[in-house]
Structure 1
C-alpha cells in the first residue's frame, strides 16, 4: 500500500542537470522581456507604418484640394473675363450696329491682354461673327458647342472644361490644332491602345450672353485657354504647394492635367529632362477615375518612379468625365522617413531591452544571494557546523526565512549541546558504576 504523505515538488532542473536559481530567474526574466519587446516592436512597426500611410494620404488629399482650387480658380478667372467683357458697351453697340471690325479689334486686344487662346462672338442664333485669333473666319454654326448651346437656352454665363475636336481648333487657328496634337508614349501599366497620337484638345472655356439694353439676347461671347502643352496651372501648383522643393535631385511634388488617360500638361519629367506629355496613366487609375468617376489615392507608378498619388475626375458641363487632375509626391521621401522612424524606434526599444535585462540581472542577484547564503549555511549545518548563521538583510519572506533558519540552527545547536551534556553525564555515570563494581570485586 502506498503511504500518504506530503506532496513532493521537483525544484531542480532537468534530471541530472543542476540549474542555479540565479540562472533560472535571469532566464525567466529575459524570456519575458524578449517576448514583450518582440510584441512591442511588431505592434510599434505596424502602428508607425499605418500612421505614415495615413499621413501620406492626408497630405496628398490636401494637395489635391489645393490643385482643384487652383484649377477652378483659373476657370473662374476665364469666366470673369468673358462675363465682364460681354457686358461692355462696345460689344453691345458693335453687335447692334453690326460694326464687326470694331468688335474684332477690341476682342483681339482683350484676348491678348488676358492671356486667352480663344475669344469668339456669335449672333443670337449661334453663328460665328468674330474669331479673335483668326478674324477671317465667319459664319460657322457654333450653336452645338456645349457652352454656347447652354447659354443660348438659359441666357446665363457658364464655365466648364471641354474637349475640343481638332477640326474645330484648326478652324479657329492652326496653332491651336498643332498645340493640341501629342504623340502617345508607351507607358508601363497603361491600358492597351491602338492610337499613337492625340489630336483633340482640352480647353477651359467660359461663355456669356451679350444682351442689348432691353436684356434681349443679341449674341454669345466665348473664351478659353487650351490646356494641351500649357503648363501654367501645373507649375503654379508646384510652386504653391511644393515650393519647388527637390528630394534626391528630383522635384518632391508633381502635378498633371490628363485628357482621358493622356498627360497633356505636367511637370513630371522623363529621364531626359523633358516634360512627360503624351505619357499615360495606369489602367487601374483610368478604370477608377474615368470609367467609375471616383477619386483615387494611393501608391502609383508614375512615368518612371513610384509616387503617393491622388487623382480626381475632370467633368464637362454635362457631368461627363473627360479627364483627370493629378498631384503626387515622391514615395521615396516617405520610405526614408518610415525607415528612419523605425530605426529610431528599434534603437530605443533595444536600449530599453538591454536596460531591462541589466535590471533583471541585478534583481535576480538580489533575490538569489540570500537564498545562496541559506544554501551555504544549510550545507555547513549538514556538515556539522551548527554555529552557521545567515544575515537578516530584508523585511520580507526571505528575511522571515533567514530568521526561521537562524532559529532552527540555534535550536539544533541547543539540542546538540543538551545531547552532549546528556551523553557526558551518562558516560560519567557509567564510569562511576564501573568504578564501584571494581571496588566491590576487590
Structure 2
C-alpha cells in the first residue's frame, strides 16, 4: 500500500524543518495572491485597454471614411464649378460678341471674370479657325502648336458634349501653354528614386483638373472653351477641404486632420507638415498604401505612417478620364489623441492593480497561518498512510476549502480500502476459476485415456445388440436406455476434451458473415417449431477475420441453442456482426470484429452471471445440459485471442458479445 504515496518520507523530512517549510508556503501563498491579482487586474487592464483602443480606432476609421467621402465630393465640386463656369461663359460669348468684332476683344474681360469666380489656373478657347487663346497669370495671349497637349478638348468636340475630369500633363506641355505655370508645378522630390536608368529629383508631370465645353453656333463663331486647375502645389484646395472638415482643430500644435493630393505616390498638394514646419511636398506614401490604392484600385482605411507620425487614414484612388489610377486623395487624423485616451485609462487601471496587489500581500500574510496548520496534519496523515496505517488521525474538519480537502482525503482513503478489498476478492475469484480449470483439464485428460476407449466398446456392443431380432421388448427397451446413457456420457467426454484444449486450432482468414449464414440453418427448424423468429443484421465492410471456422461455428451454434432454450414462443433471436474496438479492461484498444447473439428470453439472474462460464454450471433441468457449453465457448474464444461478454436482465433477455482481433492470434494448445 506504499506505492500510491512514494514521496511521503521526503514530506516527513520537510515537516521536521517546519520553520523553512512555513516560510516557503507563505511565499507561495503570497505569490499566488499576486498572480491572482494580476489575472483579475493585469489581464483586464491589457484587455480593457486593447478593447478601448480598438473602439476608438473603429470610431476614428468611421469618421475618416465619412471625411474622405466629403473630401471626394469637394474635389468633384471643383470640377463642376469649372464646367459650369465654362458653359456660362460660352453662352455669354455667343450672345454678347458683336458681329465683326475680333474674338480676342471680348475674351479678356470674360476670362478675367471667370478666373475671379472659379478655380482656374488657365482658361482658353480653340476657335473655329483653330486659333488657341489662353488666359493665365492675368494675361491673354495667342499660343501656337498647343493643340497636341489638349486631348480632352478634342474628345469633348468629338462627343459634342461638355467633358470634365482629372488628367496628367508633362511639364513641357504645360510650358507650351504657360511657362510660369510649368515652373510653379515643378516640385522637388524629397526621396528621389531611379527611373529609366536615371535619378529623378523633380516631379516631371502635373496633375490637372480639366474641363472642356463645345460652343455650338455658326461656323465662324463656333469654338471650344477649356479650363485647367494645376494641382501641383495647390495648397488652397487642400487647405479649404481641411478647414471644412476639421475647422482648424489642433493637437499639441499640430493639425489634427490633414488632406493630401498625390500624383502617383508623391505628395503634390498637402497640409501635412514636416518636423521643420514645412509642407511635406515631394514626399511619398507608404509602399503598402501605394500597392493597395494605385495597383489594386481599392480604398485604404487603416493606420498608416505619414511623414513623421501615425495617422488614422483614408486613401481613395484618383482616376483620369480613361478610368486609370493616376493618384490618390488622402484624409487623415492624428492617432495620438486616441492613443492618449487609451494610455490614460490604462494608467488608472495600473494604479488600481498595484493597490490590489498590495492588499493581496497583506491578505496572504493573514491567511497563511490559518491554512498551514490543517495542511501539516494532512501531510502527517499522508506519511502514516505510506507506512501502512490506513486509519490516520486527520484532526477536526475545518470549514471552507481546507475542510473539503480533508473530506476528499478521507474519501480517498475509503476508496483505497474499498479497492484493496475488491482487488482481493477478484484475485481470489480468479484463483478459484484457475484451479477449477486446471482440475477439469487434468480430469478431462484422464477421461480421454481411461474412459473414452471402454465407452466406445460399450456403445458399439449396444448398437450391435439392438440390431438383433431375437430380443424381447423389455430387453430392447432396457438396451435402448443403456445406449442413450452411453451417448450422453460420450458427449460429456467430448465436452471435457474440448474444454481441456486437447484439440488444436487451425487459424485462417475467414468470413464471419459466411459463418453466420452457414450456422443459422442448423437451428431454423427448431426455431420454427417453437415459434421463434430469427433475424440476422450483417455488418457493413466486414473484413476477413483470422479464425478456426469450425470451432467458431460450434461456439455460435451453442449460443443459438441456449437462446432457443431460454426463449418462449413469439420471441426473437437476433444475430449481428460489425467492426468494433476491443472490450479490453487494460485500457488498450484494438480493432476487431464483433459477433452478437441477443434473445428476448427469460434472462439470467445477476447472481448467476459471474458463474455462467464456469464448467458444469447450468440453469437447465437435470439431464438437459452438461454445463460445459459456455465454458468450452469461453475457452475457444480465448484461444483466438478474443473476448466474450454477457449482459442480461431477468424477463427482458440476454445478449452474448464475442470480439475477435483482426490481426492473427497465436492459438494456445
Cα distance between partner residues in 2 of 1:51 and 1:237: 27
Could you give the per-residue CA deviations for residues 35-89 of structure 1, whole angstroms, max 9, x where no partner exists? 3434433432332343233233233323322322222222222222122222x24
Match of 1:252 among 253, 256, 274: 256
Please, which of 119, 123, 126 is the counterpart of residue 123 of structure 2? 119
Deviations 1:350-386 (A, max 9, x none): 5566678889999x79x98xx9xxxxxxxxxxxxxxx
Q: Distance in 1 between matches of 2:98 and 2:330?
A: 42
Q: Which residue of 2 aligns with 1:262?
A: 266
**Is the contact between residue 191 and residue 283 of structure 1 (CA under 8 Å) also seen in structure 2?**
no
Distance 2:54 2:12 in 1: 45
1:63 equivalent in structure 2: 67
The match for 1:277 among 281, 287, 293 is: 281
1:266 and 1:131 map into 2 onto residues whose CA distance is 28
Pick from 85, 88, 93 the counterpart of residue 90 of structure 1.
93
CA contact (8 A) 1:207 1:223 kept: yes
Residue matched to 2:576 = none
Q: SS where residue 282 of structure 2 aligns?
A: coil
- Provide the residue aligned with 1:331 in structure 2: 335
Contact preservation (8 Å) 1:255, 1:327: yes
Larger RCO, structures 1/2 (Cα 8 Å, 6+ apart): 1
Q: Secondary structure at the match of 1:310?
A: strand
What aligned pairs does 1:378-417 form with structure 2 within 5 A after superposition? none
Structure 1 CA distance for aligned equivalents of residues 275 and 46 of structure 2: 39
Instruction: Report the secondary structure of 1:345's partner residue.
Output: helix
Deviation at 1:181, TM superposition (A): 1.0
Could you report, residue by residue, the CA deviation over 1:116-150 in whole angstroms, capped at 9, with x for unpaired residues? 2111112358x344222353324546377343133
Measure how far apart 1:295 and its partner are.
2.2
C-alpha separation in 1, matches of 2:40 and 2:62: 32
Per the normalisation by structure 1, the TM-score is 0.68
Q: 1:359 to 1:237 in 2, by over 3 A?
A: farther
The 3-state SS of whatever aligns with 1:183 is: coil
Q: Which deviates more, 110-119 or 93-102?
A: 93-102
Residue 175 of structure 2 corresponds to 170
Q: Deviations over 1:401-435 (max 9, x none)?
A: xxxxxxxxxxxxxxxxxxxxxxxxxxxxxxxxxxx
Structure 1 residue 131 corresponds to structure 2 residue 97: no
State the SS of the aligned residue for 2:227.
strand
1:172-321 matches, within 5 Å, as: 172-186=177-191, 194-212=199-217, 218-321=222-325
Assess if the C-alpha contact under 8 Å between 2:89 and 2:110 holds in 1.
no
In 2: Cα distance, 1:289 partner to 1:28 partner = 52
**1:217 & 1:155 partners in 2: Cα distance?**
16
Counterpart position of 1:150: 155
Post-superposition shift, 1:155? 1.9
CA distance in 2, matches of 1:64, 1:325: 8
Secondary structure of the 2:142 match is coil
Q: Judge conservation of contact 2:153–2:224 (CA < 8 Å) in 1.
A: yes
CA 1:79–1:324: 2 relative to 1, 3 Å: same
| TM superposition shift of 1:195 | 0.9
- Count of equivalent residues: 376
Alignment correspondent of 1:72: 76
Structure whose CA Rg is larger: 2
Q: Take 2:99 and 2:363, find their aligned partners in 1: how far apart are those partners?
A: 96
**Unaligned 5+ residue runs, structure 2?**
2-7, 375-398, 404-669
Q: Return closer, same or farther for 1:28/1:185 CA change in 2, 3 Å cut-off.
A: closer
Is 1:102 matched with 2:106?
A: yes
Work out the CA distance in 2 between the residues paired with 1:26 and 1:281: 53
Gaps of 5+ in 1: 3-9, 372-393, 399-442
Give the 3-state SS of the residue equivalent to 2:77 in structure 1: helix
Change (3 A) 1:137 1:353: same
Computed over aligned residues only, the root mean square deviation of the Cα atoms, in angstroms, reads: 4.5
Contact 2:146/2:176 (<8 A) preserved: no
**TM-score, structure 2 length as denominator?**
0.47
Distance 1:26 1:349, change over 3 A: closer
Deviations 1:193-230 (A, max 9, x none): 7211123222212212212389x993221112212222
Cα distance change on mapping 1:289 and 1:15 into 2, 3 Å = same
Does the 8 Å contact 1:121/1:220 carry over to 2?
Answer: yes
Describe the SS at the equivalent of 2:213: strand
CA deviation after TM superposition for structure 1 residue 329, in Å = 2.5
- Aligned-partner SS, 1:277: coil
Question: In 2, distance between residues paired with 1:306 and 1:33?
Answer: 34
Q: 1:169 to 1:340 in 2, by over 3 A?
A: same
Give how far 1:319 is off. Answer: 0.9
Distance 1:144 1:27, change over 3 A: closer
Deviations 1:234-262 (A, max 9, x none): 11123222322332232222222111222
Checking the alignment, whether the CA contact within 8 Å between 1:257 and 1:325 is kept in structure 2 is yes
